[in-house]
């Protein structure tokens, strides 16, 4: 409970600071669009994106320490990543390890966790034995080489050998994974509101209806150990996972509102194509 209290107290201030900072950067950019040269507009745009993202990364770094202290008991084995959705792709925007390039993309359909959440409309994805799921054909990942499954079954290679290295050359595997979507569900009072049109109709290609779920990102926790999450007995893993995810999701909403969700930003990007 002490760590959770520290987590909430830290984020109360940081959410206010982040929203205020990014809104001011966006204001400067908007004013620049009205009166400045193309060169200054570009400078203001780059400042908005880079400073906002750097602040976001620093906040996630701090939050990762809270997550590992709670879930991993200071276990460096636990890996934390935050991903956003871009059409049918998953985009890495944060990793607490340096084994992958930020902004790398993969198809939702190429990963069982994201595909299950989207297709089956489940609230989360938890797998405490990924290797076994891969062997029996119920787990896929864009970095897993399905052609090596037979050799793994015959014990000719190890589990780590089945994974394709990242561009950096690092090769990391995991055996337990928990994926929680950052999402909201529409209700009666949302219908026909600006909020509804922006957060539901935009993210469902106009197919939104009441009780639609809009997902804009995911918090992912991975461990090399089997049965990592089922082995935690001190607290309810899912309850705490959703609390953390819901709070972290606020940063992504603000980031979206003032960047790719901004009419000013989209107008600018359209003008330089």
Q: Which domain holds residue 72?
A: 1-76+237-273
pTM listed for this prediction = 0.88
CA distance 268 to 81: 30
The verdict on 144 and 217 lying in the same domain is yes
The verdict on 209 and 128 lying in the same domain is yes
**Is the residue at 262 inside a domain?**
yes
The verdict on 70 and 149 lying in the same domain is no
The pLDDT tens digits of the residues spanning 188-201 come to 666 666 666 666 66
Domain total of the chain: 2
The verdict on 113 and 213 lying in the same domain is yes
The pLDDT tens digits of the residues spanning 132-157 come to 999 999 999 999 999 999 999 999 99
CA distance 262 to 35: 18
**Is the residue at 232 inside a domain?**
no
The residue among 176, 178, 177, 150 whose CA lies nearest residue 162 is 150
């Amino acid at each position: 409970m002490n760590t959770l209290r520290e987590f909430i107290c830290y984020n109360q201030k940081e959410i206010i600071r982040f929203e205020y900072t990014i809104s001011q950067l966006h204001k400067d950019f908007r004013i620049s669009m009205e009166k400045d040269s193309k060169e200054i507009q570009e400078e203001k745009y780059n400042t908005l994106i880079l400073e906002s993202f750097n602040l976001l990364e620093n906040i996630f770094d701090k939050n990762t320490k809270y997550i590992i202290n709670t879930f991993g008991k200071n276990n460096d084995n636990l890996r934390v990543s935050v991903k956003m959705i871009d059409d049918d792709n998953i985009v890495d925007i944060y990793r607490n390890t340096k084994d992958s390039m930020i902004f790398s993309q993969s198809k939702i359909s190429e990963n069982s966790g994201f595909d299950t959440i989207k297709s089956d409309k489940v609230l989360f994805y938890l797998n405490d034995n990924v290797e076994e799921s891969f062997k029996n054909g119920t787990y896929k990942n864009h970095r897993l080489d399905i052609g090596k499954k037979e050799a793994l079954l015959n014990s000719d290679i190890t589990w780590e050998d089945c994974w394709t290295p990242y561009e950096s050359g690092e090769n990391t595997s995991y055996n337990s994974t928990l994926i929680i979507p950052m999402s909201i569900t529409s209700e009666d009072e949302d219908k026909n509101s600006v909020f509804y049109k922006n957060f539901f109709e935009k993210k469902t290609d106009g197919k939104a209806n009441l009780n639609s779920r809009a997902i804009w990102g995911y918090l992912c926790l991975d461990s090399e150990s089997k049965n990592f999450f089922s082995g935690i007995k001190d607290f309810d893993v899912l309850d705490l996972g959703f609390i953390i995810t819901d709070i972290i999701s606020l940063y992504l909403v603000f980031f979206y509102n003032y960047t790719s969700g901004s009419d000013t930003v989209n107008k600018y990007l359209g003008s330089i194509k």
